[in-house]
A = this chain, B = another copy of it.
Amino acid sequence: MAFINENFLDLKENYLFIDIAKKIKAYQAENPDKALIRMGIGDVTLPIAPVVAEAMKKGAEEMTHKETFKGYEDSGRGYEFLREAVAGYYRSFGAEVDPGEILISDGAKSDCGNIVDIFGENNIVLITDPAYPVYVDSNTMSGKDIIYASSNEENGFAAMPDDSVDCDIIYLCSPNNPTGSVYTKEQLEKWVAYAKSKSAIIIFDSAYEAFIRDETLPRSIFCIEGARDCAIEICSLSKTAGFTGMRCGYTVIPKELTAYDTDGEPVNVFKLWCRRQGSKFNGVSYPVQCAAAAVFTPEGLAETRKNIDYYMENARIMSETCDELGIKYTGGKNSPYIWLKCPNNMGSWDFFDYLLKEIRVVGTPGEGFGPNGKGWFRLTAFGSKENTIEAMSRLKKLLK
């Protein structure tokens, strides 16, 4: 008799965004004539840069000629040209990462979800609350014990470590999804010191690093001294370069990083991950890798920067509106997310329904990201400027 993995029964029935999609579908079925402004799911809306598409077309063309055709990648870790480009990008903001430590993936979600495979069930996993649901779901699926570090109004939704709490694996995301908070260098130094004191490993999600404008804020965990001994970084081109539909990301595992077997013997984490990927992954599409490499060319970076500027202008408009309305929020400065306190002590899902019905704006209920999100709400800056202005104008009318 084929048995299921019963850890799946501990998962909530549906993924947050599926719940939201259902509510939207039901609303639209009842109100077919009313257009919605979507500020919920963190999906980009600006097209990819032409230089990026051209690189993909060139890659596709190469695939049609015997001399330039590419089959399986030898390593499945990504082509050297792309790993070199990513290493150069890291260097541009002060993080030294060897191309050999960079593994190209089909997106941060895959690596983030699959990384649990290499860690045992006997780990205590520390996740900030609220957090991107994949951290909790992937660890629940693999039967690990999860504890939470509280991100809350008092600490600006940027949880800090507590030395009295033991843990083995730590998930951090900065700039944070969903709260938009960004850890300072000093804060990350504390996390690194804490992780090292516990021989724990930090899984650092830097998917939103490109939105950091304040140059004193670290764009990578590897900007922090000592992080190479205790951290894995997972990043993506999804938000940096509009790759949500193109699918490419990268994970950095320093070659000296170790985890332990139950006898306390050190095991190399990079090798463990390569073994996992060697058996369960066959690399990223060659033309996609060509496109990704083009993101890091001067032209690609300039185009990409323009798109991020556009989104950050939306974030500014949203922040300004919250300021005007006296709504408390985090994010919006070095992050595409605005994390706001629902007005009039409304619950997250009540506020979701309220905005949907009254002003046809879709956001994301904070409690979908964890208990500490109760009464909070996430808006994204990834829409069009026109829609952002219109949504904020409706919000002002509604709440003034």
| Residues of A near any B CB (own CB < 8 A) | 1-6, 8-9, 11, 15, 18, 21, 41, 43-50, 52-53, 56-57, 60-61, 63-66, 69-74, 106-107, 109-110, 112-114, 117-123, 133-134, 137-138, 141-142, 168-169, 198-201, 242, 244-248, 259-262, 264, 267, 269, 272, 275-276, 278-288, 291
Tell me whether A279 and B113 are in contact in the complex, defined as CB-CB below 8 angstroms, given that A50-B64, A72-B43 are known contacts: yes
Report B-chain residues with C-beta under 8 Å of the C-beta of A112: 280
Give A90 Cβ to nearest chain B Cβ, in Å: 23
Most buried by B among A3, A47, A276: A3
Q: Are the CB atoms of A66 and B46 closer together than 8 Å?
A: yes
**Residue in B247, B259, B288 whose CB lies within 8 Å of A2:** B259
Give A138 Cβ to nearest chain B Cβ, in Å: 6
Q: Are the CB atoms of B48 and A69 closer together than 8 Å?
A: yes
Q: Are the CB atoms of B120 and A262 closer together than 8 Å?
A: no
Q: Are the CB atoms of B282 and A199 closer together than 8 Å?
A: no
Report B-chain residues with C-beta under 8 Å of the C-beta of A1: 168, 198-200, 260, 264
Report B-chain residues with C-beta under 8 Å of the C-beta of A198: 1
Report B-chain residues with C-beta under 8 Å of the C-beta of A47: 63-66, 69
Report B-chain residues with C-beta under 8 Å of the C-beta of A260: 1-4
Chain B residue with minimal CB distance to A57?
Answer: B57
Give A378 to B400 CA distance when docked, in angstroms.
75
Report B-chain residues with C-beta under 8 Å of the C-beta of A287: 56, 60, 246, 287-288
Q: Are the CB atoms of A8 and B109 closer together than 8 Å?
A: no
Give A201 to B285 CA distance when docked, in angstroms.
31
Report B-chain residues with C-beta under 8 Å of the C-beta of A119: 2-5
